[in-house]
């Protein structure tokens, strides 16, 4: 495509009275929003925009605008297109903006990029502006290359192992380093400790390397091959009677590799990615070393508070799940009397995740996963939680008891394995079966009145829903398609050939609610049902507002400009009551784990949402002047004057919570939901289930018509009080009215 689209748009903006800088920023916004839409590729749009004549005429001060900087970062982040002279021009006109874009393009991890080489040469021609900047990059480059080289050196002796054999060493490592540490953190051994997550991620990285480099024959497994591999690489550590000596040399190498991978991953996340995407800190060169200085304590605090909110939301949904389970006699009747308490906990967690999926993510009872049959989502959740309960009861607890007695993880694992053999069960630190056997185990969990024995096709759909095909994943990794690859915890059943493997140490401790959300929202983002789910989010939230007395319009279309030929856009939700009108822009994505992911969310989805909401709020204000039907539908009387209009970005993610985009507040959908339902008490752990404090004093409540002590609306609900509760962060306050979270909003 040519530059005509951006040139014409720039000229039109100037003709409408915008200044040069604002007109250029509007075209940068168009580029970032993927315009022009159609057959043009992202690379073609980048080429057209940066080849436009007005880019060279933008005044220096204009480069302080985020949209132009983000557009420049996007150009520097790719290697396919070079616009001659662009970097040199910006180096002279807007050196600070060029440095910002080079950072946020992630070039510190791509030192061989031709875009970086264009910046690097500036150290000689403009040393005052770029010499130290380039030196900082070189320090990062050397440090990362050292860590990459160490990983490659350490893993060389493991090159001949198969993925299965590496899984055996990963399981030994987990039971030595991860499980005991997790058991010390919490008696239940379920809540993940952040400091241990880095080891999980390192094992993920080691296994991904193996899949990307292994032979296709490594997936052609049968019982004899599995037996030989585990007799050589697993059994000798656990069973003193084994004929083979334990390969302590390979285990030592594996342990060293995990350590080296942790070092590399930590460098990438805490140094390289922090340099690129964490604007709360800066890196300062002191001689030949880099030191971190905090420049925005508030942003850093927001990130930490986001983590605390996420933990409290986990508790909220579990309380909801327990209450829903108590009110479901039919579901309670399905609980087997054996291991009753563990199974009840599993069902409560499944119900908690199911309520969250329905109310926050718009998931229906059955979803299409691409296989022959749809999967029943609640049964899939119940199945994975019952598997987790099984591994806790039959693996983790006996291992803990044996470890306390023996004092060494190998002896404890050996005791566990021998007890399993005596019962005819596999109690090794990794388990496997053929698909038919696994379906037979899951079938009872799909039982209905009509089919009390369960349904094999339903069980197979559940199994497929949670299964990662490692042969297909290996092909994706070799093709460089890493974004399509699931993390271990997202699809915890591993298919190698005709066998399905599970890792008891991981299955017992992972967060299945996050796993299912990311299964559907990250890995399944392009599912045909995703658009319908977004519409259901709007409708279900609209129903909650209507239940609170709001007049609600869902997906109401309005022209976004006074021009009769103007584009029409849908307003996700319009909610009116008590002279207040809420204009809501809803966004639904997945659960993020890093500041890098959060930065991309902030600068893409949320930035765009702010621009959309600005247009839509203006459109709503115009329409209220002349559109009698709209005022009537919203219950607004013209004699009462214009309503007080409030626009919010309502997002399923917690990142960037209570920040503003184009002047509009971003809040989590869960916060809005909790405020509408007036259920702050369940955020405050009233029964003391999740900590030693015994709950937050005064947060207890009695249902069944009694007054709730911890109400957000002690003087009654109104639109103004609801808006005030959300905007002040009162949802996150404890019952006494004080809150570190609320005060930091």
Q: What is the pLDDT of residues 433-491, one digit of tens each?
A: 999 999 999 998 888 878 888 899 999 999 999 999 999 999 999 988 887 788 888 89
Average pLDDT (703-716) is 69
For the chain, helix (H) and strand (E) counts, in that order, are: 34, 14
Query: Kindly report the CA angle at 543 between 539 and 544, in degrees rounded to 5?
Result: 120
Average pLDDT taken over every residue of the chain? 89
Q: Are 244 and 165 contacting, i.e. CB atoms less than 8 angstroms apart?
A: no
Structure tokens at 102: 């080079």
With a pLDDT cut of 70, the percent of the chain lying above it is 93
Q: Are 180 and 403 contacting, i.e. CB atoms less than 8 angstroms apart?
A: yes
C-alpha–C-alpha distance, residues 45 and 75, integer Å: 10
Residue 487 pLDDT: 87
For residue 359, what are the contacts with CB-CB under 8 A and spacing of at least 6? 540, 673
544-558 residue pLDDT tens: 999 999 999 999 999
389-421 residue pLDDT tens: 999 999 999 999 999 999 899 999 999 999 999
E-strand stretches of 474-540: 493-496, 499-502
Overall pTM > 0.85 = yes
**702, exposed or middle or buried, with CB in 10 Å at 0-12, 13-18, 19+?**
exposed
Q: Report the relative pairing of strands 431-434 and 375-376 from DSSP bridges.
A: unpaired
Angle between helices 66-76 and 607-626 (to 10 degrees): 140
570-605 residue pLDDT tens: 999 999 999 999 999 999 998 888 889 999 999 999
More confident residue, 42 or 585: 585
């Amino acid at each position: 495509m040519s530059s005509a689209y951006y040139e014409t748009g720039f000229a039109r903006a100037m003709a409408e009275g915008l200044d040069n800088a604002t007109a250029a920023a509007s075209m940068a916004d168009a580029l970032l929003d993927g315009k022009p839409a159609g057959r043009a590729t992202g690379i073609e749009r980048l080429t057209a925009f940066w080849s436009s004549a007005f880019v060279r005429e933008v005044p220096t001060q204009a480069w302080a605008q985020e949209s132009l900087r983000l557009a420049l970062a996007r150009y520097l982040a790719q290697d396919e297109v070079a616009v001659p002279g662009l970097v040199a021009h910006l180096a002279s006109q807007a050196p600070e903006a060029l440095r910002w874009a080079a950072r946020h393009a992630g070039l510190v991890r791509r030192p061989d990029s031709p875009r970086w080489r264009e910046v690097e040469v500036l150290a000689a021609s403009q040393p005052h502006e770029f010499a130290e900047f380039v030196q900082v990059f070189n320090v990062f480059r050397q440090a990362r290359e050292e860590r990459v080289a160490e990983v490659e050196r350490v893993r060389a002796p493991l090159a001949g192992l198969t993925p299965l054999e590496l899984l055996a060493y990963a399981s030994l490592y987990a039971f030595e380093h991860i499980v005991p540490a997790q058991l010390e953190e919490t008696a239940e051994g379920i809540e993940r400790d952040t400091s241990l997550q880095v080891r999980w991620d390192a094992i993920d990285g080691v296994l991904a390397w193996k899949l990307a480099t292994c032979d296709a024959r490594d997936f052609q497994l049968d019982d004899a091959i599995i037996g030989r591999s585990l007799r050589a690489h697993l059994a000798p550590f656990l069973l003193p009677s084994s004929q083979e000596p334990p390969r302590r040399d390979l285990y030592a190498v594996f342990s060293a590799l995990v350590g080296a991978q942790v070092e590399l991953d930590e460098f990438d996340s805490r140094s390289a990615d922090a340099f690129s995407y964490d604007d709360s800190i800066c890196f300062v060169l002191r001689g030949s070393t880099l030191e971190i200085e905090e420049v925005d304590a508030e942003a850093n605090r927001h990130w930490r508070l986001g983590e605390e909110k996420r933990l409290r939301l986990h508790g909220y949904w579990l309380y909801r799940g327990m209450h829903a389970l108590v009110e479901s006699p039919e579901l309670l009747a399905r609980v087997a009397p054996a291991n009753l308490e563990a199974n009840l906990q599993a069902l409560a967690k499944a119900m908690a995740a199911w309520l969250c999926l329905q109310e926050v993510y718009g998931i229906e009872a059955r979803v299409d996963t691409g296989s022959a049959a749809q999967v029943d989502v609640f049964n899939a959740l119940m199945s994975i939680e019952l598997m987790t309960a099984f591994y806790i009861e039959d693996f983790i607890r006996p291992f803990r008891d044996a470890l306390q007695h023996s004092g060494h993880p190998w002896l404890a694992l050996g005791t566990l394995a021998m007890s399993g053999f005596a019962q005819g069960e596999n109690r090794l630190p990794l388990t496997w079966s053929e698909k038919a056997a696994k379906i037979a185990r899951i079938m009872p969990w799909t039982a209905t009145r009509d089919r009390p024995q369960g349904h094999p096709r339903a069980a197979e759909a559940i199994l497929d829903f949670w299964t990662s095909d490692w042969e297909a994943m290996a092909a994706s990794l070799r093709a460089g398609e890493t974004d399509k690859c699931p993390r271990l915890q997202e699809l915890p059943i591993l298919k190698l050939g005709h066998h399905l493997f599970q890792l008891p140490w991981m299955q017992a401790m992972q967060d299945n609610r996050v796993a299912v959300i990311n299964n559907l929202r990250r890995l399944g983002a392009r599912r045909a049902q995703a658009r319908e789910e977004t519409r259901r989010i709007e409708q279900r939230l609209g129903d909650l507002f209507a239940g609170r007395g709001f007049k609600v319009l869902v997906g109401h279309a309005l022209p976004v400009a006074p021009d009769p030929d103007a584009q029409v856009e849908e307003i996700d939700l319009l909610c009116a009551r008590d002279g207040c009108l809420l204009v809501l822009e809803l966004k639904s994505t997945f659960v993020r784990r890093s500041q890098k992911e959060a930065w991309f969310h902030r600068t893409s989805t949320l930035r765009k949402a702010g621009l959309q909401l600005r247009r839509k709020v203006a459109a709503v204000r115009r329409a209220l002047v002349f559109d009698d039907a709209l005022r009537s539908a919203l219950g607004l009387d013209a004699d009462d004057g214009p309503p007080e209009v409030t626009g919010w970005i309502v997002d399923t993610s917690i990142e960037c919570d209570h920040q503003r985009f184009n002047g509009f507040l971003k809040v989590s959908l869960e916060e809005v939901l909790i405020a509408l339902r007036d259920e702050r008490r369940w955020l405050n752990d009233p029964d003391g289930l999740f900590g030693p404090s015994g709950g937050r004093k005064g947060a207890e409540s009695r249902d069944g018509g009694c007054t709730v002590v911890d109400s957000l609306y002690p003087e009654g609900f109104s639109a103004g009080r609801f808006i005030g509760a959300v905007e002040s962060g009162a949802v996150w306050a404890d019952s006494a009215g004080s809150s570190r979270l609320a005060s930091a909003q």
